Amino acid sequence: MREHDSFGSGTMRRGRRKFDDDEPDFVKRGRLEPHLSEDPDLPETGDAWSTWDGAEHGPEPRPEWVRTEHGAVDTELGMLKTGKEADVYLVRRAVADTGKVSMLAAKRYRDGDHRLFHRDAGYLEGRRVRRSREMRAMTNRTSFGKELIAGQWAAAEFGALSHLWEVGRQSGLIRVPYPVQLRGTEVMLEFIGDWETGEAAPRLAQVRADKDTLADLWRQMTDALSVLARSQVAHGDLSPYNTLVHEGKLVLIDLPQIVDVIANPQGADFIARDVRNVAAWFAARGLDVDADALLARLLYEAGLR
C-alpha cells in the first residue's frame, strides 16, 4: 500500500482537491524558456566531458599519460572490437590546447536483455554477494540478476586488471592494459596499439614469428601464467585471440571471467584449459613445449597440489 493511500486509521476521500489544484477550466501554460540552439553542457570540441570525476580509478602510481583534468574532453573514434559480452570503442581523452592526450579502449558491457555470457554459470561459482536476495536473483537469472551479473563482470575485470597491473609493475613478469576507470558497466583501459594511427596491436594468433621469437613469446606466456597461479587465479578463457603482442611484449586482455581457483571447485580445470589452449598454438607452429609439465608446476604454485 502506498504511503499516500492512507493515513492512520482513516482513508482519504476520493475527489478531494489538493491545496494546489487549479480550477478545472484553468489552462496551464508553464514558464517560457529561452530556446537554445545547442546543449550548454557540451564541450566546444569532442563528444563529451571526461567521466573521470564520477568513476572509480585505477591503481597508483598512475602512468603519466592518464588524464585526470576536469576539463578533459572525450572523443569517440570508432569501434575496436565487438563481442558477445561487450563492445570496445576507441576514445581519445584530451585537454584542449595543451597536447595532453591519452588513448583509451572503452569496454561497454551489454545490458541483461542483449548480453550473451557463454558458460557464465561455471565462471560465477565461488563469487558471492552480500545479500541473499541478490545471490538468488543471480542464480535464477532474473532480469535483476542479469544486471547484477553484468556489474560483476565489469567489476571483476577492473579488479583483476588493477591487481595484475600492479604485480606486473613490480615484477615485470606479466603485462595487462592499465585500468583507467570503472563507471557502471563501462571499463576504460589503456589502448594497446599505435596512438598516432589508432591501429590496435595484433593478437598473438595473427603473429608470424621465427623460432627464436616464438620461444621468447612462450617464455613470456609461462611467466604470466605463473603470476596468475601464484595469485591463485586463472584467466578462464586464455587463448591466442585474447593476447596481444605489442613491441615484442605479450599483453593479456579480456579478463572479466577471471576465476578464483581456490573458491571455484573447477579451478584446476580452468588452469588446465588455459595452458592447453596456448600450448597447442605454440606447438602447432613447431615450438617444443611441455604442457603437462607446465600444468603440474602451475597447480603447485596455485596451492592445488
Average pLDDT, integer, range 3-29: 45
What pLDDT is stored for residue 31 in this prediction? 54
Specify the domain boundaries for CATH 3.30.200.20 within the chain.
48-194
User: 95-99, 123-127, 261-265: which range is least confident on average?
Assistant: 123-127
Start-end ranges of CATH 1.10.510.10 in the chain?
A: 201-301
| CA-wise closest residue to 124 among 264, 271, 269, 302 | 264
123: pLDDT strictly greater than 60 = no
CB-based contact 146:121 (threshold 8 Å)? no
Contact of 225 with 218, CB cutoff 8 Å: no
pTM over 0.75: yes
Half-sphere exposure of 36 (CA within 13 A, CB side): 6
Confidence of residue 40 (pLDDT cuts 50, 70, 90): low
Alpha carbon of 210 to those of 86, 217, 282, 285: distances in Å?
Answer: 34, 11, 12, 9
pLDDT at 290 over 60: yes
Q: Which CATH number fits domain 48-194: 3.40.50.150, 3.30.70.920, 3.40.1280.10, 3.30.200.20?
A: 3.30.200.20
Whose cell is 595487462? That residue is 176
How many C-beta atoms surround the C-beta of residue 33 within 10 A? 6
Question: Is the model's pLDDT at 140 over the cut of 80?
Answer: no
- Work out the number of other CB atoms within 10 angstroms of the CB of residue 67: 21
Inform me whether the pLDDT recorded for 27 exceeds 80. Answer: no
Which residues, in sequence order, are CB contacts of 150 under 8 Å at separation 6+? 109, 110, 111, 112, 115, 185
Cα–Cα–Cα angle for 261, 267, 272, rounded to 5 degrees: 120
Q: Which residues have a Cβ under 8 Å from the Cβ of 262 and sit 6 or more positions away?
A: 126, 232, 302, 303, 304
Query: 84 pLDDT band (50/70/90 cuts)?
Result: confident
Residue 184 binned pLDDT confidence (cut-offs 50, 70, 90): confident
On whether the 201-301 domain is CATH 3.40.190.10, my answer is no
Distance of CA 155 to the CA centre of its chain: 7
Q: Write the CB contacts of 212 (distance below 8 Å, at least 6 apart in sequence).
A: none
Q: List, for residues 238-288, the tens digit of each pLDDT value.
A: 999 999 999 999 999 999 889 999 999 999 999 999 999 999 999 999 999
Please, which pLDDT band fits residue 30 given cuts at 50, 70 and 90? Answer: low
How confident is the model at residue 246, as a pLDDT? 98
- Tens digit of each residue's pLDDT (9 = 90 or more) over 185-239: 899 999 999 999 999 999 999 999 999 999 999 999 999 999 999 999 999 999 9
Q: What percent of the chain has pLDDT over 90?
A: 67
Query: If you average pLDDT over residues 176-185, what whole number do you get?
Result: 95
Q: What is the pLDDT of residue 41?
A: 79
Question: What is the Cα Rg of the chain in Å?
Answer: 25
Confidence of residue 22 (pLDDT cuts 50, 70, 90): very low
pLDDT-derived band of residue 85, with 50, 70 and 90 as boundaries?
Answer: confident
State how far the Cα of 265 lies from the Cα of 65, in Å rounded to an integer: 40
* pLDDT at position 86 over 80: yes
User: Residue 119 — pLDDT band, cuts 50, 70, 90?
Assistant: very low
Residue 28 has pLDDT above 50, yes or no: no
